[in-house]
Structure 1
């Protein structure tokens, strides 16, 4: 979205869509987590993202309603259609309850940005709904400004965002890391060099860094063409029921996502176009940002069509029936990661589980694994690859674990230990006594397949005595960290008088 952006926000829309009021303690939940709540519920201590049981503990009389995204889309379409008719002709739905449009044209028409905000809020109030609006240079800043009803001055997005906590950028892992580093505000994060952010934190963090600097999270569009990736389906005869159209919408969305992925791009917006039997075409823009799954697209299409049906739009002039459904991506940009603080959902655990199960069904149970950290002394013992869906049978990570290797931890652990030699200045093998004392200072280290080099420094040895109560399974060994003059660093272990290379520090 080039130039200034205006965003209108209807607070607590999921509550309003299910018929709730501010006076009633009500929570809308999705997978046992609160996604929206009424003013009465908030007064009792209920908050978004709170687990349902915790919310009910704080508000025993809480009424709970399962979220219905299609119903929210249908409810909010009244607002979008009304604003298109009365305030601005072209807008896009970020999510139900939040919509955006370029501000320049409407602001000129209504006499300025303050007047545009007044007309937006007043038009939504005509539908007996609460609303706020905001304007800024970027869509992200405008969405935040809408919550406060502010107009951010031209070129002032970065300064306006600076006092906010880094959590508003919408990257939880990055937020936790930045807070540990003492970077707690958006302004402090914006001052970091972009190249260092990319190298240290990755593309997702770089997109958030652009947002913190008052820029769009994605660079400018890399392609002007839009129709090359568009997908469509023709209905013969015309479809009069909504369910078949929603089913086709999901298939089209999957096809669209595959095309964009193959091209290495994502779209910022998605246009849904419906052609009626009488030849009229109706469209609606949804904000995408690479975040909408095929199921989410289908839910939005179904809600949109139901709203148009309830309003009598699809039946006007004897045009009953849909003959064509099309999806067209807009504002294509390179796939460099995304951040979506205000604008939608991430992949859910259920979706990940279904995808993993499909891969395991095709390639075998061991084809999809996850890393689990557990108890152990050696690096290779502490990390285990467990088939997805299985429980890790290993011992928990807590406990003293005498002889555990201290930090820094190696970069590479070898599947099989490599034979090694550790000798003193006289060329004699270095030994470790029962009291963990070296027979002589190490002078040279050699590892099979990696040559030999002079020792620059060492740490240890650290003795390990495992399962001493079982004579047949007991093990006694010692580990050392050794660095060479060439800059290499090894984790060595001695057992039964013989040295091995267990890991390399890179």
Structure 2
């Protein structure tokens, strides 16, 4: 690629570090000095710099994260919250440079050429955008490169990659960087990275050294896209092309929408209409404009970009996020500053000009996009001198419009029999029904949450298709129940293990409910691990009326030295058995 061509196609990526954790901390008004993490499926998916300084990393379970950092503030993943609070940031950038595309809450891209020409240079444009985002109370980092994926990786390092230097910039980076951004990678990208590691390709340059023919013949379609990213080859840049008018759909809002629940209903209805029209044209959308008109005549629009073709559910989510952001911004800006002298946060988001100031050490990022430790959202305080003047938010929405900018053939999107897309649960259910027809009605069973004290008691297996009625009421108190979280895997056959002390003597439980010795090792078959921590033991006194219970029944939890697995042990007849696994 020539230098002139690469400069014309330059892409600017703006990344707000740890955005899910930043948004959660802002909503819950957590002090910036307290570490914060966000969980999904009981695993850490995002955390602040203060949490990482305490050793908390993505992928840890809640138990492991809290063990490393006892003062950790834990929030649950909420895409609606993340998108709602990111809208003021997008609006601040769009006021300076048009053509903003949102990849996900916390990350946006735009064409760098216009911004560089207007401000005089790419460095000046980056500095101006960082200042604009800092005015909303958020820290960010800027990356500029020839290709979009390279710019996103550069933003994580606050780097401006010179034209034509993309391959050289990427070559020494770990190959895991190709999968770190979910908005640009397919779900199977993590498996590809693991395979490349096992093949000895540890750096992006090692993977880029393979020829396209070698990658295409040995790996899947996503590996080909990852290989193009590793070689910094041309990708689809941010687009300023006009929308496809024949595929656009419009919804007149009567009465005008000024509530989030009404916006969610309208967004789902319009998403269904859009995908019916896309299905009729045998195409799927990968880049979408969400636009709206207000009762005051305002024109609002935002571009959403996706790595994979949008499904109806994905489109409805993005429409809901966007309308939620606009309406929340309206609610926040609708309170004049003289009526809010304390600078309290109203609603559920943070709007540009929110009267907050950084705590010591939490200054906005500079021209290079370098960010400091902390949550990155301004805390409550006096209005700073640089805060923009008060402006009212948009009026209620009267017209909603969806316009697909970029479409691909439906071969890129697996459609269901009745037009649905990505309905994995329904396809799995149909397969189970077929197996049930071959093997019998009780051959396929599903679990229903039940009441009980042990993990096995809290699962009632019901034949597929029967009424999901639990054996016991799960809402009863059940004193003495095993505390949350429940084991990820429950073993009904209770395989035996041997718990030993440091001198290889077996460990059991005294009459007072203590271990006879400090647990040091655990043997399971031919494998053994060192025990680095434990909880319990807890003596169980239940079902004494049955007459068949063991003399001593006890539970304990042990943490193995690999730090990624905890076992729930059940002891009886002076032997230990594995009842559950915490993954």
Band the TM-score falls in, shorter-chain normalisation: 0.5 to 0.7
In structure 2, relative to structure 1, the CA distance for the partners of 1:136 and 1:357 (3 Å cut) is: closer
Do the aligned partners of 1:84 and 1:91 also contact (CA within 8 Å) in 2?
yes
Q: Which residue of 1 aligns with 2:433?
A: 366
Does 1:285 find its partner at 2:295?
no
Cα distance in 1 for partners of 2:13, 2:200 equals: 32
In structure 2, relative to structure 1, the CA distance for the partners of 1:73 and 1:360 (3 Å cut) is: closer
Does 1:246 find its partner at 2:264?
yes
Q: Which residue of 1 aligns with 2:217?
A: 199
Where does structure 2 lack aligned partners over 5 or more consecutive residues? 1-5, 180-188, 337-390, 414-419, 437-442, 448-460, 462-491, 494-583
Do the aligned partners of 1:69 and 1:299 also contact (CA within 8 Å) in 2?
no
Q: Which residue of 2 aligns with 1:23?
A: 33
Aligned-residue offset at 1:258: 5.5
1:119 to 128, 149, 163: 128
TM-score w.r.t. the length of structure 1 is: 0.63
Bigger radius of gyration among the two: 1
Cα distance in 2 for partners of 1:105, 1:302 equals: 28
**Secondary structure, counterpart of 1:215 in structure 2:** coil
Aligned-residue offset at 1:387: 6.5
In structure 2, relative to structure 1, the CA distance for the partners of 1:151 and 1:264 (3 Å cut) is: farther
**Secondary structure, counterpart of 2:156 in structure 1:** helix
Aligned-residue offset at 1:164: 1.6
RMSD over aligned Cα, in angstroms?
A: 3.9
In structure 2, relative to structure 1, the CA distance for the partners of 1:298 and 1:44 (3 Å cut) is: same
Matches within 5 A, 1:229-244: 229-244=247-262
Do the aligned partners of 1:23 and 1:38 also contact (CA within 8 Å) in 2?
no
Do the aligned partners of 1:246 and 1:301 also contact (CA within 8 Å) in 2?
no
Q: Which residue of 1 aligns with 2:88?
A: 78
Cα distance in 2 for partners of 1:225, 1:75 equals: 27
Aligned-residue offset at 1:275: 1.5
Do the aligned partners of 2:330 and 2:393 also contact (CA within 8 Å) in 1?
no
Q: Which residue of 2 aligns with 1:50?
A: 60
In structure 2, relative to structure 1, the CA distance for the partners of 1:68 and 1:356 (3 Å cut) is: closer
In structure 2, relative to structure 1, the CA distance for the partners of 1:64 and 1:319 (3 Å cut) is: closer
Matches within 5 A, 1:245-324: 245-257=263-275, 259-260=277-278, 265-290=283-308, 293-312=314-333, 320-324=395-399
CA displacement, residues 242-280 of structure 1 (integer Å, 9 cap, x when unaligned): 212212212333444455466565444221111223443
Cα distance in 1 for partners of 2:335, 2:137 equals: 25
Aligned-residue offset at 1:27: 1.1
Larger RCO (CA within 8 A; separation ≥ 6)? 2
In structure 2, relative to structure 1, the CA distance for the partners of 1:320 and 1:153 (3 Å cut) is: closer
Cα distance in 2 for partners of 1:224, 1:200 equals: 38
Does 1:3 find its partner at 2:9?
yes
Matches within 5 A, 1:200-215: 200-215=218-233
Does 1:106 find its partner at 2:115?
yes
In structure 2, relative to structure 1, the CA distance for the partners of 1:318 and 1:3 (3 Å cut) is: closer
Cα distance in 2 for partners of 1:304, 1:310 equals: 10
1:158 to 155, 167, 178: 167
Does 1:173 find its partner at 2:191?
yes
**Secondary structure, counterpart of 1:148 in structure 2:** coil
Do the aligned partners of 2:284 and 2:309 also contact (CA within 8 Å) in 1?
no
Cα distance in 2 for partners of 1:198, 1:51 equals: 36
In structure 2, relative to structure 1, the CA distance for the partners of 1:89 and 1:359 (3 Å cut) is: closer
Aligned-residue offset at 1:50: 2.4
Comparing 211-220 and 295-304, the one that deviates more: 211-220
In structure 2, relative to structure 1, the CA distance for the partners of 1:88 and 1:224 (3 Å cut) is: closer
In structure 2, relative to structure 1, the CA distance for the partners of 1:319 and 1:286 (3 Å cut) is: closer
Q: Which residue of 2 aligns with 1:38?
A: 48
> Greater strand share, 1 or 2?
1
Cα distance in 2 for partners of 1:228, 1:80 equals: 28
In structure 2, relative to structure 1, the CA distance for the partners of 1:271 and 1:112 (3 Å cut) is: same
Cα distance in 2 for partners of 1:217, 1:368 equals: 44
Does 1:14 find its partner at 2:81?
no
Q: What number of residue pairs does the alignment pair up?
A: 364
Aligned-residue offset at 1:286: 1.8
Does 1:330 find its partner at 2:405?
yes
Do the aligned partners of 2:249 and 2:273 also contact (CA within 8 Å) in 1?
yes
Do the aligned partners of 1:266 and 1:290 also contact (CA within 8 Å) in 2?
no
Aligned-residue offset at 1:121: 1.4
Aligned-residue offset at 1:106: 0.8
Cα distance in 2 for partners of 1:261, 1:311 equals: 39
Do the aligned partners of 2:109 and 2:238 also contact (CA within 8 Å) in 1?
no
Aligned-residue offset at 1:224: 7.9
Do the aligned partners of 2:39 and 2:76 also contact (CA within 8 Å) in 1?
yes
Do the aligned partners of 2:34 and 2:71 also contact (CA within 8 Å) in 1?
no
Where does structure 1 lack aligned partners over 5 or more consecutive residues? 339-351, 370-385, 397-506
